[in-house]
Structure 1
Amino acid sequence: MRTLGVDLAAATRKTAAAVIVWGSGTARLEHLALDVGDAEIVRLFGASDMTGIDCPVGWPDALLPFLAGHLAFQPHPVLDYDGIEGRRLLAYRDTDRFVTARTGLIPLSVSADRLAHPAMRCAVIQAKIAVVHGPQARDGGGRLAEVYPAATLKSWGLPARGYKGRGGAEAQRLAEILDGLTEAAPWLDLAGHREQLAGSDDMFDALIASLTARAVAIGATLRPDAGHARAAVTEGWIHVPAGGLDELTGGLDGLPGTRP
């Protein structure tokens, strides 16, 4: 099977993609690229069994009535979200709160932070995928799943912070995390891409997204329970691995939805 990981940015030049081919007890990084456009993401999605995208796939459910009330000059739908607690409902999704409770990490707000522009692009990409391959469930029940590399790294016992940026300290941190990853996953063949991964946190996050996509495909991530299922359908759901890296090499032969 093939898994695609996408580190999505508002700008194409900062968007990275990584494709991993999984065999019997092995995994090989088949494709790694930076400066990836929408058409290429749709093409790679079509050639992959599962895609993990590092970007929110939806917005808080509370945001729609709030904006609709404001647009229609209706005060009550807006006043329902008065105060700091109300604004938190507008800024963070159910899955964001779940991830914070489980990992201690606070995802950026899709509606009130730097993720807004990438999320708009992500919505367009989802529509482009839907035109060609059909709509994909936002809770990860199809072939597209939202992922959060920092949460994935933390769940695997690897450092999750301090590697983003172009400074010397960040570069050193990224190289150390990559070393830790390859030591923990000796079955992962980087196929000559180590230097690229060590030099780009975007490419590295795409690799982590692709690895997380594998965890989604084999059912090894934290899924929404009854209390979160409804919101996950509309807002999206961040898939965090429920087990270790060593679980990813388990076979998928005979499971529905996988390609030969």
Structure 2
Amino acid sequence: MRTLGVDLAAATRKTAAAVIDWTGGAAQLVHLSLDVTDEEIVDLFGSTDMTGIDCPVGWPDAFLPFLAGHLKFDAHPVLDHDGIEGRRLLAYRDTDRFITGKTGLIPLSVSADRLAHPAMRCAVIQAKIARDHGPQPRDGSGRLAEVYPAASLKLWGIHSRGYKGRGAPESERLRLILDNLETAAPWLDLAGHRDDLAASDDMFDAVIASLTARAVSLGQTLQPTTDHGAAALSEGWIHVPSGRLADLTEQPGQPGSPGSPD
């Protein structure tokens, strides 16, 4: 199995991709790149089994009727979201609220924060994948899943605060987090890319996205409940780990793994 992780930004220069090859209980980083284009992402998607993308794949269900009502001077769907609580429904998806409840982390809003531009690019990339490889369900039940590296690290027990940025404190924190990852996952071969990862939080996040994609493929992530199912199909669903980092080395069919009779 090969998993692709993408840390998606609005601009290619801040977009990173990482491919991990999983063989015989071990994993090797076989591709790592920065300044990644849409076409490269689509090509890598086609040559891997599961992709984790660090970017919202959809918008809140309430957002489109709100905009349509505003455009058409239809007051009803606009007034439905009067006040701060109404606006929260426009800003955050079901999955965002679910993640906050499970991890304490608050995902950035796709409709009211810095994620808006990357999300627009992500929508275009999803359309290109659909054109070349078939449409992918937004709930992650296909070969593309939305992931959240900070939440993955937290649930795997790796402290990961304050590593975003280019300053000396951020770089030192990123090196420490990378040390902790290597200690927790001795089966992960970074294949000479350690210095690159220590120097780029974007490439590091792409690796965590690829690890999370493996968790998705093994059924080791928190799934939408029946209460969230319909929204997950339209808004998207953030997949975060439900098991240990060490569990990623399981092979499908092993005792205790998805698909196993035990």
Shorter chain as normaliser: what TM range? over 0.9
1: CA distance, partners of 2:190 / 2:245: 15
Structure 2 equivalent of residue 174 of structure 1: 174
2: CA distance, partners of 1:245 / 1:77: 44
Question: Structure 2, unaligned stretches of length 5 or more?
Answer: none
Alpha-carbon offset, residue 253 of structure 1 = 6.4
Q: What fraction of aligned residue pairs are identical, expressed as a percent?
A: 75
Structure 1 equivalent of residue 192 of structure 2: 192
Structure 2 equivalent of residue 164 of structure 1: 164
Alignment of 1:1-260 (within 5 A): 1-252=1-252
Alpha-carbon offset, residue 160 of structure 1 = 2.6
More moved, 156-165 vs 213-222: 156-165
Secondary structure of 2:165's counterpart equals coil
**TM-score w.r.t. length of structure 1:** 0.97
2: CA distance, partners of 1:77 / 1:213: 37
Aligned length in residues? 256
Alpha-carbon offset, residue 87 of structure 1 = 0.2
Alpha-carbon offset, residue 32 of structure 1 = 0.2
Question: Structure 1, unaligned stretches of length 5 or more?
Answer: none
CA contact 1:151–1:160 (8 Å) conserved in 2: no
1: CA distance, partners of 2:128 / 2:240: 26
What CA RMSD, in Å, does the superposition of the two structures yield over aligned residues? 1.3
2: CA distance, partners of 1:173 / 1:27: 24
Question: For residue 76 of structure 2, what is the amino acid of its counterpart?
Answer: H
Alpha-carbon offset, residue 188 of structure 1 = 0.2
1: CA distance, partners of 2:47 / 2:171: 32
Alpha-carbon offset, residue 215 of structure 1 = 0.0
CA contact 1:7–1:203 (8 Å) conserved in 2: yes
Question: For residue 171 of structure 1, what is the amino acid of its counterpart?
Answer: S
Alpha-carbon offset, residue 76 of structure 1 = 1.1
2: CA distance, partners of 1:223 / 1:13: 32
Question: For residue 94 of structure 1, what is the amino acid of its counterpart?
Answer: D
Task: Report Cα offsets for 1:88-120 as digits up to 9, x if no partner.
Answer: 000000000000000000000000000000000
1: CA distance, partners of 2:252 / 2:97: 31
1: CA distance, partners of 2:20 / 2:71: 45
2: CA distance, partners of 1:149 / 1:246: 16
